[in-house]
Amino acid sequence: MQKYEAIEKLRPKLADLAVSGMMRNALNDSFWAVRQAAAEALRRYKGPEGNAVRMELQRVATADKKSQVRAAALASLSSFQNEDFGSVYTVALADSSNLVVSAAINALAKAPQSNREHK
């Protein structure tokens, strides 16, 4: 619970390099709710580690063992405007979790250019 609360309190300071590094590290935490909170906190991240953050979110969206975390990562990826994660969304459409499939459909709906490319 303390890690979750720390993530919530640090969310406004994501532009700080140390804070964004801690959030990326939290994406690998053993407790799924911490990973989910970190994925949600990184939504629309525009700091200096942008590429690394988006790569981590893509990894989490396709490989995390908990469906809530995968869905949160997909939602965060969909918040990055003018970026194409259509291949990640397409992979997620075949996920065993309806929550993840729903997040992938929502992400594709937000990015119609990805939808046309990956039909």
In tens, the pLDDT along 40-88 reads 989 878 777 788 889 999 999 999 999 999 999 999 999 988 888 999 9
Mean pLDDT of the chain: 85
35 C-beta neighbours (distance < 10 Å), count:
25
| End-to-end CA, the chain | 41
Report domain extents, the chain: 2-117
Overall fold of domain 2-117: 1.25.40
Is the Cβ–Cβ distance between 76 and 54 less than 8 Å? Answer: no
Least confident of 10-14, 43-47, 91-95, 115-119: 115-119
Instruction: Provide the pLDDT for residue 25.
Output: 85
The band of 6, judged by pLDDT with boundaries at 50, 70 and 90, is confident
Backbone angles phi, psi at 109, to 5 degrees: -65, -30
